Amino acid sequence: MLPGPNYIYRCPLCDTLYSKYSLMSGNTFGADFFSDGRYFARMLPEFPIITKCFECTTIFWLDKTNEIGSYYWGEKINKEWEEAFNADFLTLNDYFLAFEFHLPRTIKQEIYIRKRIWWKMNDSIRFKEELPAYENENQLWSDNINKLISLLNSGDDDEKIIIAELHRNLGNFDTCKKILDSIANPKYDWLKKAMTKACKSKNKKVFQLKK
């Protein structure tokens, strides 16, 4: 794992500073992979691209719009940068709030947020985490999945495999198997086999993958 620069961002409302690490290279050796595409790799950690300000609760993108500079480990920096907060991932509630504040400006940004809502809701199964209590949880779950399906590219194998998994989560097992059968790229064979087995057993839940 080779670290990249640390980026500094400024909250667009209150000017509080946030720091985000980056990597120049990494690997997924020994990582845990799940059927929804989420993985956890010690040598390839994920960093947020959207965060929430601790001071004023503004949710904002960690992008060029709010970036004020960067530095590498060992470089001398000013005290203000040294005291910057680490940018954290959003909570499930905050991801939903991002839509209320109309933060997704592009399809790519909307996919990012909806995929993380999907993953966060799957975490209740993945890690046996207790989710916040939502009166209309099942509706929120299915609405987010259906919207995500509509945003993904059904002509791209990388996204097609995600669409298949989303249909499996909804219990659309025949649709899932039909999509899997349409993917000819052999690199997906092991994943197709695992997902087909889950469909046959009528399993809608996320599961850990084993190659």
CATH code at position 164: 1.25.40
Q: What is the pLDDT of residues 131-179, one digit of tens each?
A: 676 778 889 999 999 999 999 999 999 999 999 999 999 999 999 999 9
**59 contacts: CB under 8 Å, gap ≥ 6:** 50, 51, 52, 53, 90, 94, 97, 98, 101, 103
Q: How far apart are CA 211 and CA 209, in angstroms?
A: 7
Q: Is the pLDDT of residue 182 over 90?
A: yes
The CA-atom distances, in angstroms, between 126 and each of 27, 120, 122, 138, 142 are: 22, 9, 6, 17, 18
89 three-class SS? coil
**pLDDT score of 211:** 63
Residues 124 and 131: beta-carbon distance below 8 Å: yes
Q: Which structural domain range is residue 188 located in?
A: 92-200
> For a pLDDT cut of 90, what percent of the chain falls above it?
86
HSE-CB of 199 using CA atoms within 13 angstroms: 22
Q: Tell me whether residue 169 is in a domain.
A: yes
Chosen domain end from 86, 102, 137: 86
Q: How far apart are CA 195 and CA 8, in angstroms?
A: 41
HSE-CB of 92 using CA atoms within 13 angstroms: 18
Q: Tell me whether residue 105 is in a domain.
A: yes
- Is 141 found in the same domain as 53? no
Which tokens sit at 186? 């052999």
- Is 21 found in the same domain as 67? yes
- Is 193 found in the same domain as 101? yes
Chosen domain end from 64, 86, 108: 86
